[in-house]
Structure 1
Amino acid sequence: MSLYESIVNKKDRISLIGLGYVGMPIAVAFAKKADVIGFDVNEQKIDCYKRGIDPTKEVGNKIIEETTVDFTSDETRLREARFHIVAVPTPVKEDHTPDLAPLKNASSTLGRNLIKGSLVVFESTVYPGVTEDVCIPILERESGLKCGVDFKVGYSPERINPGDKIHRLETIIKVVAGQDEETLDIVAKVYELVVEAGVYKAASIKVAEAAKVIENSQRDINIAFMNELSIIFNKLGIDTKSVLEAAGTKWNFLNFTPGLVGGHCIGVDPYYLTYKAEQMGYHSQIILAGRKINDDMGKYVAESTVKEMIKVNKQINGAKVAIFGVTFKENCPDVRNTKVVDIIKELKEFGVDSKVVDPEADKEDLWREYKLKLCELKDIKEMDAVIFAVPHDEFKTIQLEEIKMMYSRNRYVNFESMNESAAASEFNINRDDCILIDLKGMFNIKEARNAGFVYWRL
């Protein structure tokens, strides 16, 4: 009986190493077809899953409650499985070089518990060569087994888009690769159990690794172009969104928009490719140029906010700015590598105090990573500027009238002493110092300006 048949007949188990935004949805999907062990070194996370709580919000508490995944932080339980999927993060260090520590640690942990006849599939995004040159030697050293003889290795890059309820594991074509044809066939068949869109068999592990890393590099470059256009058009006094809407009427115009590029993929993966290129003696030009533009956008937004404040004679040192959204993307609790933090840091350099509102963000991660605390909407009062940085669905219900009540008013009128009709009249008075920074164009530009806002967007 083949390993695939053993899995289908529940004679063998699948293990997931790393239960974050990528690994946990994979574990839940496979648990519908096979026996699955979900392993993570984070005991607190495992405890949440066991209690039916989904801290990632990727599948929801109800599904976590109902799943048959056997969650554990006991690494010896990995010995009960023969098909292993490694889905741990691959971040970069401060100098933008690859940080392979999580992947190396996961390989060591798995290696210590690897049994003969196993197949290991890596999903983490890496530069070409990492699986074979870094991971396999660790597995061999820790297990005492020989790759290709005692165990096999494959690669299948993750394509899950955190917060996206449409493009999921099941609906995205899965690239798979194996060290030989037999391995490739097994990996393909196992993933076909859950991937409705089907699989694509890559020519080699290195090809699959390269395919993944260029997917996000391509997107990064396209967004960098939009960000550069935004900088140019702002200098020209032209609204970038209006330009893109006009250009978008052509059938082959690519639908990209300017914005902050953070997270664990697009803002990181290009550095893996350029790192490997440097090792081979080639200095990237386009990729690194795009990265520099995108990495500097937080600083650019902060400086633009300060300039708008100066235009209306606001005192900068000691000013207060409300920032709506701190996660790296909308409708997602993930704050890893969020570029909103760059805005906050730069504003602090000017002496500006930022208050952050985000109903989606993971509070514990935000404090652990950046020492930032969240505020409630009711706490946003007497602001000098308001920045909508992340377009969470929950923010889209906020009206311009509500935003206008967030600014400094005490030197104009005491609203508490006014009746409702008087307050409404006060709102209708166009004011020229209510600065609204709308990074993703959530609000209508004409309506905002007609309502008296000093309105700016990328």
Structure 2
Amino acid sequence: MDRWKNPTIAVIGLGYVGLPLAAALARDFDVLGFDIDATRIRELNAGHDRTNELTPDALNASKARLTDDLGALQGHDIFIVTVPTPVSEDNEPDLTAVRKAAETVGTAIGKGGIAVFESTVYPGVTEDVCGPVIEAASGLKSGTDFFLGYSPERINPGDKVHTVDKITKVVAGQTPEVAATLARIYGSMNGNRIHIAPDIKTAEASKVIENAQRDINIAFVNEIALIFERMGLSVYDVLDAARTKWNFLDFKPGLVGGHCIGVDPYYLSHAAQQMGYDPDVILSGRRINDAMGAVLAERIHKSLGIDAAKILVLGITFKENVPDIRNSKVIDVIRALELFGHSVSIYDPLADVAETKHEYGVDLIDSPANGYHAVVGAVPHAVFDELKVSELLVPGGLVADIKGIWRGMDLGDGVRRWSL
């Protein structure tokens, strides 16, 4: 279609995924970035990205127009949806955001428009869930009046190497022409590093297994860490030796949270169970990783050897050097330690104080004091490298080094250590 030759693009959802995508596409296309969070839009238009994916200079240089005005979506040719797809408290897929985004697209899309979804889902959601929602809101027919596409997001928060304009993008379309159009559009920003999947369901499936695979591998390392602990071995020493083999997969133990790895396997397992198949390996990996917070807290409690200890936890984000607190499993450690009767303070200069309070009901301290019975290294932020941990502890205090932050470092006399 003529309108696909030089299309106007609307990116819906301006978080870790949508904002960098909108900025990258705006180098070659007329791009509108939309988000329902008016505060987020004000911050971005003032040059501040709280996710730290774009610098103020990059934001100010971007040609993308950013708005929370629904009316501004009217008349665009291509709509790219990048909203989150979390799970419920029962670990069931929560498609609320993606359904609402599809409805928003339906109110704005016209004949010949393309709706592309980047949100991680199980195979079939784009065509069987999102398509009908758009039809109901627009009065148009999917595959005839408007068309669907899928291009799974592969953003790794905080990763300044594998950015959206440097990675291979998978694309799929409802028709070969749609797929070719998406390949051209996404290819314009990443040097044509494009893989065209044969259909939308295949593209959806490719994304959901990427993170499920990582989850399973981390679960294996977490399990062997607990086994080796009982043998009096450091899993980090074992991994140092094992990774000298050329084809050893280098995964590390720890907490598995965030909006992808800790969530996506449940989308795949849900789809499998709907088909009458019990995904033993996937769910076994999830059980191991979901239990790690409580297991680590129990090990720390036993190593302390006292009740009602004063404990400092370093880090609340789901991974190092990012401000993202979504689905952070550090909170599991904190709550379990509190159940043991300990008093826990949390220090994380990267996390937003208000967001952390809203999400988890806990307060962050401005800076560490001293007199702690234990310091727990939960997230290896670079800013923690310079902390003089031993000075924060009472004599005989414990350093619980979950991520090997201070491995091999001389912490001084009288400091006890616990690590996987």
Partner of 2:417: 455
Structure 1 position 351 matched with structure 2 position 346:
no
1:326 positional shift: 0.6
Partner of 2:138: 143
The 5-angstrom pairing of residues 24-63 of structure 1 reads 24-63=19-58
Alpha-carbon distance between aligned partners in 2 of 1:134 and 1:442, rounded to the nearest angstrom? 44
SS of 2:356 mapped into structure 1 = helix
Deviations 1:132-172 (A, max 9, x none): 00000000110001111111110000001001111111111
Deviations 1:187-223 (A, max 9, x none): 1000001123611000110000000000000000000
Q: Is the 8 A contact 1:3 1:186 kept in 2?
A: no
1:23 positional shift: 0.6
Q: Is the 8 A contact 2:4 2:77 kept in 1?
A: no
The 5-angstrom pairing of residues 156-171 of structure 1 reads 156-171=151-166
Counterpart of 2:126 (choices 126, 131, 154) is 131
Alpha-carbon distance between aligned partners in 1 of 2:156 and 2:192, rounded to the nearest angstrom? 15
Partner of 2:6: 6
Bigger Cα displacement from structure 2, 190-199 vs 121-130: 190-199
Q: TM-score, normalised by structure 2?
A: 0.98
Counterpart amino acid of residue 360 in structure 1: L
Alpha-carbon distance between aligned partners in 1 of 2:214 and 2:27, rounded to the nearest angstrom? 33
Alpha-carbon distance between aligned partners in 1 of 2:155 and 2:131, rounded to the nearest angstrom? 25
Counterpart amino acid of residue 407 in structure 1: L
Alpha-carbon distance between aligned partners in 1 of 2:232 and 2:379, rounded to the nearest angstrom? 24
Q: Is the 8 A contact 2:186 2:192 kept in 1?
A: no
Identity of paired residues, percent? 47
Counterpart of 2:295 (choices 300, 304, 311) is 300
Bigger Cα displacement from structure 2, 237-246 vs 63-72: 63-72
Alpha-carbon distance between aligned partners in 2 of 1:253 and 1:299, rounded to the nearest angstrom? 29
Structure 2's unaligned 5+ residue stretches are none
Alpha-carbon distance between aligned partners in 2 of 1:445 and 1:309, rounded to the nearest angstrom? 21
The 5-angstrom pairing of residues 31-430 of structure 1 reads 31-196=26-191, 198-310=193-305, 314=306, 316-317=307-308, 319-377=309-367, 379-398=368-387, 402-408=388-394
Counterpart amino acid of residue 53 in structure 2: E
1:451 positional shift: 3.8
Counterpart amino acid of residue 337 in structure 1: N
SS of 1:208 mapped into structure 2 = helix
SS of 1:106 mapped into structure 2 = helix
Counterpart amino acid of residue 357 in structure 2: W
Q: After the TM superposition, which parts of structure 1 deviate over 4 Å for at least 4 consecutive aligned residues?
A: none
1:453 positional shift: 2.3
Provide the aligned C-alpha RMSD in A: 1.3
Q: Which has the larger radius of gyration?
A: 1
Q: Is the 8 A contact 2:28 2:188 kept in 1?
A: yes
SS of 1:445 mapped into structure 2 = coil
Alpha-carbon distance between aligned partners in 1 of 2:19 and 2:361, rounded to the nearest angstrom? 26
Alpha-carbon distance between aligned partners in 1 of 2:410 and 2:371, rounded to the nearest angstrom? 22
